[in-house]
Amino acid sequence: MKVIIVALAFVAVAAAAAVDYVQPQVIRSESDQSPDGSYSYSFESDDGTKRQETAEVNQALDEEGKPQNVLFVRGFYSYIDNEGNVQEIRYVADDQGFHPEGPSIPKPVSRR
């Protein structure tokens, strides 16, 4: 009896794993890079995925107080989740780190 249950479990897993996947096609793609390191980039695929990003070179002080060039990046990406809702995440990345914002990003717990 145990052998039959285990065999049926394997059959169920194999049947569930047989999902056809179609690679999304890129329907729009643009990029531009400047000699100073700044750039812009965007793309969109036929499954609703989108991404857009721009970066510019700025000056920031390092730990020793010396100026250095850093990229200031901002952009967004969006996709359609399993429930069919569009999820959009906007972000900034700079010398202070990566800062995403969006409804699916957990909010930090506030301290009292």
pLDDT in tens, 47-87: 999 999 999 998 888 888 888 888 899 999 999 998 999 99
Three-point CA angle 87, 103, 88, nearest 5°: 30
Domain-embedded: residue 87: yes
Domain-embedded: residue 71: yes
- Give the pLDDT of residue 38: 94
Length of the chain: 112
Contact 54, 39 (CB under 8 A): yes
Containing structural domain, residue 27: 22-101
Domain-embedded: residue 2: no
pTM: 0.70
Q: What is the pLDDT of residues 18-31, one digit of tens each?
A: 567 888 899 999 99
As given in the structure block, the two tokens for residue 18 are 């047989």
Domain-embedded: residue 91: yes
Total structural domains in the chain?
1
- Which residues on neighbouring strands pair with residue 96, listed in sequence order? none
Domain-embedded: residue 48: yes
- Give the pLDDT of residue 68: 86
